Each structure stands twice: as structure tokens, then as C-alpha cells.
Chain A
């Protein structure tokens, strides 16, 4: 039965509701998925499918919808807002070929400045968080973000054999986990991205956003909004020196990130003593604590068809007597990493440093498979390799291992590290956690295969940029 209220009473109700609004606790956010797909395609594809990984949808379209809804639910249960979060979703054609594909394209559709209740003046907020802060929908006619998923993924000539996995259990095998992908993409639209330009250092329309106001550069002590464009350009490539200083994330770091940072600690000569970043190998034993200590020796081998450089370790080592019992140093190039490390192991090395042959940081890891390798090995940067080589005559001693006093993904001061690779990677730099984090985080630049429904440091980051959280939900479903 419906009842009609006298107009005056209705106005009074509206007025009292408005007054009460500011005192009432914000409700759990409602995330609305706006299906942009037409009949029988994408999210409405009627192709029958079997249940997979807890997804009981009976058609391809239904399973896709279920996954996107589950990712939306993950965020909805953890965020509070009076305004619905409206996400436009569609499966459409994206760039792809046999070896590469755009998995998804994402963006916030709007950003707001100086709206009601905005705590930071002259600061952009992604529209979804702006709505939450304002306690109203600031643009009721517009949606908040759009995510376009690749409809052809896994088809011939579009990363064949690597389709979206539609289960809920993150058991994607050789496919791509749609649940983790959607959770990652939604986070960008909810505010986990800066609107500025990392290549030229400019802020979006000259003003900071609520994300980059939480960024600081350790070397200069400046927050992002107080830097010049030139300083932001320099900071964006200063690996391990850009941090998130928001209080919620900083408080959560000890409960999320594990102790143990892999590094090379040079102890002498004093002129180059200190910590050097390393990229551990995925073969051989993992780095340990207290690690392997010894003198660093440059290995030599014939410049031959296997490798034209006398220091590429692509052939059997010629100064094995000098290398035996030492930490061997060799250069990247020509042959695979496992070939080099095996040659150095055969020469008696106790550990291996492979100096990169291209500039950049942090040094990536070493890939390959060889179960017969039993010594630890890492990559170091080209610059660090040159530093070591310059002092070998004076005698370089070092320890290769794991620093158990520091958390992987946090600075020595305890701030979460932000991705700042050199050279800069637009779209990745600054708008993700540093990939050194352990365990892996949902907002690292890559979708790692060990991700779960845990929202890790990303949930408290949402609080730092303005969202209110439902902290009764833990960090996941």
C-alpha cells in the first residue's frame, strides 16, 4: 500500500534527512555495473559453458558477469559511500596478436575539485571517491569509470591458449585471471592512480590529486605536490625512493609486508660500501640470511662463438683458480643466464652476480630452469656492475643475501614503496606499488599468479585518498 504525504511534510522530511545526513554513518558502498554490451555478445554471450572454479554461471556471458560482480562486491564490501559507484563494463575488441594483447582498458570518467566536504582544497579527486567524500552523487547523469575487457582474448591470433579464466579460485593456469584483473582495474578507477604525467612531470591541469598528495620522494624530502616538474621527472625514476606517506597504509605495512629484502651488501672498499639492489634468479637456491660472503672476482672466458665478450661467461671459465670460493661477476649478453651461472658454478664460484648490459633499475631477476644449479645468483644494474669493476683491483668484498631487518616493499623508514623504475614506464610508474613487495600485491604493475582476494595495502590506500572503509570486512571477501 502506498501513502501520500502532504507536500509540506515531504519537504520537512527532506530537510531533516539532509541535516541528519552528516551525522549518519556512511553506508556500505553500492557498486553498480553498467553493462554496455548488446544482445548475445560479451557480457550477454549465450554460449553454454560448464561451471568453473566456483562460478556456476551457465553461459559465457553469465560467467563473465559473475566474475565482474564478484570483483565489484569485493570493493563494495570494503568501502562506504552514499552515492553508488557506477562502473561501465563491456567486452570489446582490443589490440592483440599471437604474442601480445591488451587485457583491459580502464579509466575514471571524471575528477572533481573543490566540491562540498572536500578536505583538500584545489585537489582533484576521482569522481567515485569525490562522491563518497561529498556524501552525494556530484554528477548523477554520469558514470564513474569504464573498463573494457578484451573479448577476443584466447582466440587464434589473440594470445591463443591464454583466455580469461572465469573461476573465482584464482586457478588460472595458462590463462588470465579475470577476477584479479577486474579487481585491479576497478581499483584504478576508484582512485588508485595519479592523474599527472610522469614523463614531463606536470600535474593534471596544474593541480595535484588526492593520490599524488600522498607521495613523497625520500631523497629530497618533498611531497609530490611541492615538487617542480623537473623534480617529479627525477623522482619518478628514483627506484626505491618514492614512498606512500598516507597514515593508513603506513600503519598497515607491518601487517602486510614480509621481512626480507634481497640485496648485495658491499663491505669494502669503504668508498663503495653499502647496499646494492639485486634481481634474484628464479633458479638455484633462494637468497638467505646471513647470506654468502666473499671477495668479488670478475670471471673471464674465451671470446668465442658462444659469446664474443671475454667476461660474458658463455664458455668455460679461464680464471677458475681465481673464481673458486669467490663471488663471481660476469656480464649479461649472448647466452642464457643458466649457461653463465652453470659455467661459474663449475669454476667453483660460491655465488654469481650478472651485471646488466643495459641501463636501468631496479635490476630484473634472472629467468631459466636448471635444477643442477646449486649456488645463488642475481642480476645487478649496469651502473652498479661498473662501480664494482672499478674497484676490483682494490679488492671488493660483499655479502649476497636477504636483509631480514627490512620489509620487502617498504623503505627503511617503514613507508610503502611506489613503483619508480628507470627508465620511466608511463601507465605503470608511480601509479602502482613497487613490484619488490612480498607477498605480491593486487596493485603491482603486473597481475601475479599468486594473487588472492586479499586487498592488502590497497584497501588502506583507499582510506588515505578519502574513502571511508568498512573495517569489519578484513581485507577481502
Chain B
């Protein structure tokens, strides 16, 4: 039976999926890797506070389960906007771990035009680039087009 997609019932959970212990590779995790997985699933990735978390879907019987990849993408994408990726981890059977990286690890290359018309470019976090574009945050002065005053 296909489990219905309950987008409205989707929850951001913090360490609420103990069923993950059934992952075949869980017993092969190194202690440090296990801690990393736990941290990811607790939603406390310090470098991804706003968007990191574990999403869950509710089955017909009310039990929680992990969303499918498609459900996760749909949950993350507000209508009409670019999808927002969230960090999540998967433990493989051999004890290796794959982290799907969220938007917080993306960077934007930004260009700003100076009063002399010259462009200054620089990398900023994806989530902060709008501040640079809008001029509320400055790029570091360029060596090739430095400030004139």
C-alpha cells in the first residue's frame, strides 16, 4: 500500500527516530562517527541551525517514519521558490556515513559594482548573499579595485 503523503503533518523532529537503530551499518560505526550521526539527527548541527533537522512523515496509523527523498524535497520547497536542501545523514551497511549537505554549506560568488564602475567579487555564505547584494554587508575590499576613500 502506498503511504499517503501528509505534507501538512510533516514534523521537524529532534532525535525522534529511534527506529534508525535498525540500520544495518549502525553497529559498525566508529564512536566518533556515531556521535556525528547522533548530532545530525538531533538537529543540533552548529553550523546549520536554521535549516538542519530531521524531517518525518506520519503514516496512516500515526507512526512516524523517515520521509522519502521526494517527500523531503517537496517539504523543503515552498511553492514557487527554489528548493531548500537540508542536511541529513545515512549510515551504510559497512559503517560508512553519507551526509547530504544542506544549503548552509553552499556559497555564493557575489559581484558588487563600485562608484567607479569596477566590480568587486567575493564568496559569501549562500544564506547571507542577499545582504551583500543589497549593500547592508560589504565585501572585503578588492586588491584590484580597492576603495578610493
Chain A interface residues toward B at CB < 8 A: 92, 94-116, 118, 121-122, 124, 127, 138-139, 142, 146, 159, 162, 174, 176, 181, 184-185, 188, 193, 195-197, 200, 202, 204-207, 279, 282, 332, 334-338, 364-368, 421, 425-428, 431-432, 435-436, 445-450
Contact = CB atoms under 8 A, between A and B. Distances in A.
Contacts of A427: 107-108, 123-126, 128
B71 interface: no
A98 B97 CA distance: 44
Interface string B93-135: 0111111110101111111110011011111111011101111
B109 A97 contact: no
B81 to A, nearest CB: 10
Contacts of B129: 95, 102, 105
Contacts of A279: 141, 143, 146
Contacts of B119: 159, 162, 174, 176
B100 A113 contact: no
B133 A102 contact: yes
Contacts of B10: none
A205 B45 contact: yes
Contacts of B8: none
Contact of B144 (A105, A176, A446): A446
Contact of B149 (A109, A337, A446): A337
Interface of B: 29-30, 32-33, 35-37, 39-40, 45-47, 82, 85, 89, 92, 94-101, 103, 105-113, 116-117, 119-126, 128-130, 132-135, 140-149
Contact of B133 (A96, A121, A204, A436): A96
Given A114-B29, A368-B148, A446-B142, 6 more contacts: A101-B111, A188-B107, A364-B143, A426-B125, A426-B128, A427-B107
B124 A174 contact: no
B96 A105 contact: no
A365 B143 contact: yes
B130 A110 contact: no
Contacts, number: 216
B70 to A, nearest CB: 12
17 contacts: A102-B109, A103-B109, A107-B106, A109-B85, A113-B98, A116-B94, A118-B96, A174-B119, A181-B109, A188-B107, A202-B47, A206-B32, A206-B35, A207-B33, A282-B146, A336-B148, A426-B124
Nearest to B36: A205
Contacts of A204: 45, 47, 99, 105
Contacts of A448: 143-144
B149 A335 contact: yes
B89 A205 contact: yes
B130 A95 contact: yes
Nearest to A175: B119
Nearest to A134: B96
Given A367-B145, A446-B120, A449-B144, A114 B108 contact: no
The 8 residue pairs across chains A and B that have the minimum distance between CB atoms: A364-B141, A197-B47, A107-B106, A365-B146, A367-B146, A100-B133, A202-B46, A205-B36
